[in-house]
Amino acid sequence: EAGVAQSPRYKIIEKRQSVAFWCNPISGHATLYWYQQILGQGPKLLIQFQNNGVVDDSQLPKDRFSAERLKGVDSTLKIQPAKLEDSAVYLCASSLDMGTYSGNTIYFGEGSWLTVV
């Protein structure tokens, strides 16, 4: 079974520039998540989609971060303008749906590593 695909894997940008990350979830998974993982910390949820609707974006810094999942499959996370503190790994994850039952595992992609200089 194909996993969660993310690109690019690595990106270095200067502060105030913009960057976009792409995610393709596992086929058939309705729920998609974007997490931010800063070095030395655990992943933190930025935004959660159910199909093409936003379920939770309470921890998304909306002044600079945006995300969309227009057709309910692929998703894009954008940062504009980037700050030094945005240096992190951006993890995309997906699950069958939103429920918290035992079989509804969240699968993670390999992440997109962002360095802002």
Residues that bind other proteins (CB under 8 A): 3-4, 31, 40-45, 48, 56, 91, 93, 95, 98-102, 104-111
Position 2, amino acid: A
Q: Which is nearer to other proteins, 9 or 15 (CB)?
A: 9
Q: Which is nearer to other proteins, 3 or 84 (CB)?
A: 3
Q: Which is nearer to other proteins, 19 or 95 (CB)?
A: 95
Q: At closest approach, how far in Å is the CB of 31 from other proteins?
A: 7
- Tell me the DSSP string of the chain: ----EEE-SEEEE-TT--EEEEEE--TT--EEEEEEE-TTS--EEEEEEETTEEEE-TTS-TTTEEEE-TTSS-EEEEESS--GGG-EEEEEEEESSS--STT---EE---EEEEE-
Q: Which is nearer to other proteins, 84 or 98 (CB)?
A: 98
Q: At closest approach, how far in Å is the CB of 13 from other proteins?
A: 22
Q: At closest approach, how far in Å is the CB of 105 from other proteins?
A: 6
